[in-house]
Amino acid sequence: MYVVFLHGPAGAGKYTIGRLLGAELGLPLLHNHLAVDPALALFDFGTAPFRRLRAAIWRAAFGEAAAAGRSFIFTFHPEASVAPELIGELCALVEDAGGRVHFVALHCATAALLPRLDSPGRRRFGKLADPVLYQRIEAAGGFDFPPLPAALLQLDTAALAAEESAARIAAALRAAEPAAPA
């Protein structure tokens, strides 16, 4: 059992690459907004109840998948409303069940990222789609987060098509996980 932990800034392509990777490997995609949206339906973003509910959803998903031996892909945007210790807790749920977490870092230069934000796909999911707001949040430290564990792979999504990124991740996973589908 393993988790592919795709992380990077808004607009880096986490959902798109995760969807493609899931199709290639036959893995479900637990994208960030599957936890954010229920929490946001009840509480304002970043409030204490919002953070607790989002974390509880993530813990439950990781714990149940680990208990069932279910591999999956998870997307994460490092940002200040997430308690940094939560990442270790999620990893421990997987590792305590004998699984592994493979971090994959997606990078994208701000000049390439900003035009991607205002897209129909991002708006459909209620994601951050305003480049000016993104820059304000970034300047205020809203995306500050301690470094995540070492990445199995780091990809510049401004230089690679989503399909190529997914193919590279799949190849790296097949090398790291003997049970990964060929």
Flag whether pLDDT at 56 surpasses 70: yes
State pLDDT tens for residues 81-125: 999 999 999 999 999 999 999 999 999 988 887 777 777 776 777
Section 149-157 average pLDDT: 96
Which domains are assigned to the chain? 2-175 (3.40.50.300)
State what percent of residues in the chain have pLDDT above 90.
Answer: 74
Proportion of the chain in helix, strand, coil states, percent, rounded to 5: 50, 15, 35
> Are 21 and 15 within 8 A, CB to CB?
no
Which pLDDT band holds residue 129 (cuts at 50, 70, 90)?
A: confident
| Higher-confidence position of 134 and 66 | 66
Instruction: Strands of 62-117 (E only): list them.
Output: 72-76, 100-107
Mean pLDDT of the chain: 92
State pLDDT tens for residues 157-179: 999 999 999 999 999 999 998 77
> Are 56 and 87 within 8 A, CB to CB?
no
Which pLDDT band holds residue 130 (cuts at 50, 70, 90)?
A: confident
Which pLDDT band holds residue 46 (cuts at 50, 70, 90)?
A: very high
